[in-house]
Structure 1
Amino acid sequence: MIRSLSIILGCLALGELIIYLTHIKLPSGIIGLLILFGLLQGKWVKPDWFKPITDFLMQNLMLILIAPCVALVQYLDLLSKDIGAIFVSAVGSSVLVLLATAKTYEWARKKFSQNNKKGKSA
């Protein structure tokens, strides 16, 4: 569990350092996740290493989500004023993500099936 937590925190710290040095307008957590993704894809770290920490986080997910839920309830009157805009943006962004994912999958499937056909015919 210490190893996996160290890797995750190291990726987050590296993401923070990259943001600090480059002044990119992205959250450091996103950069950290991309670094972790690169480490996983490059097979430098194994997904099995993260099982203990992911099990722990899943078992305690309610504790992690209590604070944001309390904040939502606390600001319910403020949120209710803009519920229409919140709803439209949530639904709209979800639809856009679904469309982008579908198009990306469609493109990747065509690209990789063409590469497989070329490799088999050669």
Structure 2
Amino acid sequence: MLSSITLVLLFQVAGELVARLFGLPVPGPVLGMVFMLFAFLLKDNLIDSVRPTAGVLLANLSLLFVPAGVGIMRHVDRFLTEGVAIAVTIVLSTILAMLATAWTILWVQKRMHLSDED
């Protein structure tokens, strides 16, 4: 399990380094996930070594939201003054993400010549 967590953290650090070195507007952990995806595609047995640890992390994912909840409570006054803007931003970004996802699915279906039944 320790080697799997180390591997995940190494990909995160690699993503963070690339993002900072090249001044990319993409968060380092997101780049790390992309790097890990490519590593999974290149090395078949790598995903099998990470899978058990990933399962444990996903099973306890709710614990990772505790620090975010504490952060929200520490800035409750800010939410009271800027709450409407935050709520509108969350709703609009969610709608845009859903539209982008739907468009991407339709585009991939067209490119792969898939029907709705496929």
TM-score normalised by structure 1 residue count: 0.78
2:101 is matched with 101
Distance of 1:9 and 1:37 partners within structure 2: 14
Q: How does 1:9-28 map to 2 (within 5 A)?
A: 9-28=9-28
Unaligned runs of 5+ in 2: none
Partner of 1:119: none
- Paired with 1:107 and 1:62, the residues of 2 have a C-alpha distance of 33
Deviation larger for 14-23 or 104-113: 14-23
Give yes or no for contact 1:19–1:28 (8 Å, CA) kept in 2.
yes
Q: Note the C-alpha offset of 1:40.
A: 2.1
Q: Deviations over 1:8-48 (max 9, x none)?
A: 12211221232343232322112111101212233455433
Match of 1:3 in 2: 3
Q: How far, CA to CA, are the matches of 2:8 and 2:97 in structure 1? A: 26
Higher RCO, 1 vs 2 (CA within 8 Å, ≥6 residues apart):
1
Aligned equivalent of 1:56: 56
String of CA shifts for 1:62-98, please: whole Å, max 9, x gaps: 4322221112122112112111111111110000000
1-side partners of 2:43 and 2:112: how far apart?
Answer: 21
Secondary structure at 2:24's aligned position in 1? Answer: coil
> Which letter maps to 1:7?
L
Distance in 1 between residues matched to 2:109 and 2:46, nearest whole Å: 26
| Percent identical residues | 27
| Structure 1 portions without partners, runs of 5+ | 115-122
- Which has the higher mean CA deviation after the structures are superposed, 67-76 or 50-59? 50-59
CA contact (8 A) 1:39 1:45 kept: no
Deviates more, 1:102-111 or 1:57-66: 57-66
The TM-score, its normalising length taken from structure 2, stands at 0.80
2:105 corresponds to which letter in structure 1?
A: Y
What is the aligned length?
114
